[in-house]
A and B are shown apart, each in its own frame.
Chain A
Amino acid sequence: MKEPKNRSHVHRPITELVWLALLATCTKLLLVPAYRSTDFEVHRHWLALTHTLPLAQWYSDETSPWTLDYPPFFAHFEHLISLFAHLVDPTIAHLHKGLDFSSPSFILFHRFTVIASDVVLYYGIYQLTRNVRFKRRFLTWALVVGSPGLVIVDHVHFQYNGFLLGVLLVSLAALEEGRDLCGGFVFAVLLSFKHLFAVAAPVYFVYLFRHYCHGGLVKGFGRLVVMGTLVAAVFVAAYGPFLYFGQIQVVFRRMFPFGRGLCHAYWAPNFWVFYIILDKILAFLLAKLGFNIQAPTASFTGGLVGDSSPFAVLPRVTPLITFTMVLLAIFPCLIKAWKDPQPRMITRWVAYAYSCGFMFGWHVHEKASLHFVIPLAIVAVHSMEDARHYFYLSIDHPKHAIQPRGHAKDVPMSDLLEVADITMLCLFVSCYSLFPLLYESQEYPIKLLLLLLHAILMWLGFSSRFSNNTAAKASQRKGDKPTQRGSSGGGFVIGWTGKSYLLGLLVVETWGQFLHPLLLGSRLPFLPLMMISIYCAIGMMYSWVWQLQWIIKSH
Chain B
Amino acid sequence: MRWTVLSSDALLFFPAVLWFIIVYYWGRKRWLQGNVAWHIAMILLNPCLILIDHGHFQYNCISLGLTVGAVAAILSDRELVASVLFCLALNHKQSLRSLFSAKEGFVVLTNGTKLRAKEQFGDVVDVKFGTAHDPGNFIVLMIGASRTYTPTLPAKMVLRCDGGLGRWIAAEGRCGMWCWDVAQVVLRCGVGAMVQWGSRWLVEAVASGRASRQWVAVSQNSLMIVLASSRWTQITVDCGKKSKSGLYLTRNCFHAFGGSTMNENAKFDILGTECGKWSTNTKLVKREKRTETGPKLRWGQRSVGPELGSLYKLIACRTMSAYFAPAFFSHLLGKCLRRRNPLLEVAKLGLVVLGTFAVVWWPYIHPVDGFLEVVSRLAPFERGIYEDYVANFWCTTSVLIKWKRLLTMRSLKLLSLAATVSTCLPSMVQQLRAPSKQGFLYALLNSAFSFYLFSFQVHEKSILLPLLPASLLAFEEPFLIQWLTHYALFSMFPLLCRDNLILPYIALYGIFILLCHVPGGRLDTRETHSFTSLRSFLSAFLLLCSFSLHIIYLTVRPPKKYPYLFDAFIMLLCFTQFVLVAIYANRKQWMLSMNSIVVDKEKHL
Contacts and interface: CB of A to CB of B under 8 A. Distances in A.
Contact of B179 (A5, A442, A445): A442
Contacts of A27: 507, 511
B515 A29 contact: no
Contact of B504 (A3, A10, A30, A478): A30
Interface string A375-397: 00000000000000000000000
Given A26-B510, A29-B507, A479-B31, A8 B520 contact: yes
A7 B523 contact: yes
B38 A15 contact: no
Nearest to B511: A26
Interface string B495-517: 00000000110111011001101
Interface string B514-545: 11011111010000000000000000000000
Contacts of A479: 30-31, 34, 523
Interface in B303-334: none
A32 B500 CA distance: 13
B554 to A, nearest CB: 14
Interface in B4-59: 6, 30-31, 33-34, 37-38, 41
A2 B507 contact: no
A521 interface: no
A22 B507 CA distance: 10
B67 to A, nearest CB: 25
Contacts of A25: 510
Interface string A1-44: 01111111011000110010011011101101100000000000
B37 A3 contact: yes
Nearest to A26: B510
A381 to B, nearest CB: 18
Given A4-B520, A4-B521, A479-B31, A23 B178 contact: no
Given A23-B514, A29-B506, A11 B31 contact: no
B interface secondary structure, majority: helix
Contact of A16 (B503, B515, B519): B519
Contacts of B503: 29-30, 32-33, 108
Contacts of A104: 261
A441 interface: yes
A4 B520 CA distance: 6
A70 B520 CA distance: 42
Could you say which of A7, A22, A26 has the most chain B C-beta atoms within 10 Å of its C-beta? A26
A479 B503 CA distance: 36
Interface string B167-183: 00000000001110000
A8 B508 CA distance: 26
A481 interface: yes
Given A23-B511, A441-B178, A478-B31, A5 B520 contact: yes
Could you say which of A3, A27, A479 has the most chain B C-beta atoms within 10 Å of its C-beta? A479
B511 A19 contact: no
Contacts of B510: 22-23, 25-26, 29
Could you say which of B30, B34, B41, B508 has the most chain A C-beta atoms within 10 Å of its C-beta? B34
Category for how many chain A residues contact B: 20 to 34
Contacts of A3: 37
A440 B252 CA distance: 36
Contacts of B515: 2, 23
B33 A481 contact: yes
Contacts of A19: 514, 517-519
Contacts of B31: 478-479
A363 to B, nearest CB: 33
Contacts of A11: 519-520
Contacts of B178: 441-442, 445
A214 to B, nearest CB: 42
A25 B511 CA distance: 9
A145 to B, nearest CB: 13
A6 B518 CA distance: 11
A127 to B, nearest CB: 19
Given A27-B507, A30-B504, A33-B503, A2 B519 contact: no
A22 B518 CA distance: 11
B216 to A, nearest CB: 26
Contacts of B33: 481
A25 B518 CA distance: 15
Contacts of A6: 520
Contacts of B177: 442
Interface in A430-447: 441-442, 445
Contact of B519 (A15, A29, A32): A15
A442 to B, nearest CB: 4
Contacts of A481: 33-34
Contacts of A442: 177-179
B518 A30 contact: no
Given A441-B179, A479-B31, A481-B33, A26 B514 contact: yes
A26 B508 contact: yes
A387 to B, nearest CB: 24
Given A26-B510, A442-B179, A479-B34, A5 B261 contact: no
Nearest to A28: B507
A19 B38 CA distance: 15
A25 B514 CA distance: 11
Contacts of B519: 4, 11, 15-16, 19
A32 B508 CA distance: 13
Contact of B507 (A5, A26, A108, A441): A26
Interface string A61-94: 0000000000000000000000000000000000
B498 to A, nearest CB: 16
A27 B504 CA distance: 9
Contacts of A10: 520
Nearest to A23: B514
A15 B520 CA distance: 11
A441 B180 CA distance: 12
Interface in A284-317: none
A164 B177 CA distance: 32
B231 to A, nearest CB: 10
Contacts of B261: 104
A2 B34 CA distance: 11
17 contacts: A2-B518, A5-B518, A5-B523, A15-B519, A16-B520, A19-B517, A27-B507, A30-B503, A30-B507, A104-B261, A134-B520, A441-B179, A445-B6, A479-B30, A479-B34, A479-B523, A481-B33
**Pairs A-B, 7 closest by C-beta atoms:** A29-B507, A7-B520, A26-B510, A479-B31, A442-B177, A11-B519, A26-B511
Interface of B: 6, 30-31, 33-34, 37-38, 41, 177-179, 261, 503-504, 506-508, 510-511, 514-515, 517-521, 523
Given A19-B519, A442-B179, 16 more contacts: A2-B38, A2-B515, A4-B519, A4-B520, A5-B518, A5-B520, A11-B519, A16-B520, A22-B514, A23-B511, A26-B510, A26-B511, A27-B511, A30-B503, A445-B6, A445-B178
